[in-house]
Structure 1
């Protein structure tokens, strides 16, 4: 997809809903998802839980099979995510993009399946909180409200007092694209790995970028 497609998306929207893990940082770059999932299993003493390298699957399992323990599972996962973001690798260009949007008057809400406390911890640690208008992220132990469900996108738009149709979602996963489509937001897919571009093209987002810096260098449509 062309620069013109990206420019058209940005010209037709006034705010950005920005995913966290991928577009802003690599959350589990130092503390892998598999290690987080194993630690979560141990903390919750989940003997019968399925083996998985995905922490969210553990959260879903607890919410489904032991609802009374779901709040504790959420708390423990949030603690592990906060530990992970303390050493997370920043995404090249992400800080410059946030600063650019702030200077140009385009408000940003971070929309993430990661816990709100971990998102805010990272933003403060890297002095980025001032560039973000709000965070719409996981606050409770209900995985059914996470992307690809559009709930977090609708909440983000409410925080901005905007229609979600005035927002562009930037994300690096198919769940971001699905959530944006379900909500009615425009969507910019961030193909941060070569194999993702072909997959994203089949999902037909409004635009695709390979580098976050493209959000700064985009030229206005003629």
Structure 2
């Protein structure tokens, strides 16, 4: 899709809901999801948990099968994510995007299925917190409130004190697109890996980018 399509999306919106893992950094670049899932399983002493390389699957399993342990599972995962972000690889262009949106008066809320603690830790470590107005991320042990559910996006819009229809979601997953569409926000899909563009096209986002730097200087002033 062209820069014209991207500019048109930004022209029709006044605030950005920005996913964390992918658009801002690669959360598990140094501490893989499989390693996090295994450590979480060990910490919770889960014997019957299904074999999985996805930490969120462990969280969902505990919430479903052992609800009384869900809060502890969420807290343990938050600790592991916070450790992971201490060595996470920044996404090329992400810092410039946050600077540009901040300078142009377009407020940004980070919207993530990762823990709010890990998001804030990364933003503080990289001196980026001053470029966002808030974080709408995981604070509860209920995985049903995570994307593709629109809860976190609607919460972000409340933080911005504006309609979610005035916001655009920038995310690199199908769940980001689905959550934005369910909430009524516009959506810019970030196809950061081979095959994603084709997969995203089937979900009909408003536009697709291949590099975060495409957001710099394209229709960003309000």
Question: In 1, are the aligned partners of 2:11 and 2:219 still within 8 Å (CA)?
Answer: no
Alignment partner of 2:202: what SS?
helix
Alignment-derived partner of residue 204 in structure 1:
204
Alignment-derived partner of residue 37 in structure 1:
37
Alignment-derived partner of residue 145 in structure 2:
145
Question: In 1, are the aligned partners of 2:10 and 2:219 still within 8 Å (CA)?
Answer: no
Alignment-derived partner of residue 80 in structure 2:
80
Question: In 2, are the aligned partners of 1:71 and 1:140 still within 8 Å (CA)?
Answer: yes
> 1:169-208 maps to which residues of 2 (within 5 A)?
169-208=169-208
Alignment-derived partner of residue 168 in structure 1:
168
Alignment-derived partner of residue 9 in structure 2:
9
State the distance in 2 between where 1:39 and 1:202 align. 35
State the distance in 2 between where 1:129 and 1:28 align. 20
Alignment-derived partner of residue 20 in structure 1:
20
Alignment partner of 2:136: what SS?
strand
Does residue 91 in structure 1 map to residue 91 in structure 2? Answer: yes
Question: In 1, are the aligned partners of 2:17 and 2:168 still within 8 Å (CA)?
Answer: yes
Cα deviation, residue 219, structure 1: 5.1
- How many residues of Structure 1 are paired with residues of Structure 2 in the alignment? 220
State the distance in 2 between where 1:217 and 1:32 align. 34
Cα deviation, residue 195, structure 1: 1.0
Q: Which runs of 4+ in 1 moved over 3 A?
A: none
Change (3 A) 1:219 1:116: closer
Give CA-to-partner distance per residue, 1:3-28, whole Å, 9 cap, x none.
11110110000000000000000000
Give CA-to-partner distance per residue, 1:107-149, whole Å, 9 cap, x none.
0000000000000000000000000100000001000000000
TM-score by length of 1: 0.98
State the distance in 1 between where 2:41 and 2:219 align. 48
Cα deviation, residue 218, structure 1: 1.9
State the distance in 1 between where 2:202 and 2:64 align. 32
Alignment-derived partner of residue 154 in structure 1:
154
Alignment-derived partner of residue 119 in structure 1:
119
State the distance in 2 between where 1:13 and 1:219 align. 10
Question: In 1, are the aligned partners of 2:40 and 2:77 still within 8 Å (CA)?
Answer: yes
Cα deviation, residue 2, structure 1: 1.2
For structure 2, list consecutive stretches of 5 or more residues without a partner in the other structure: none
| RMSD between superposed Cα atoms in Å | 0.8
Cα deviation, residue 217, structure 1: 3.4
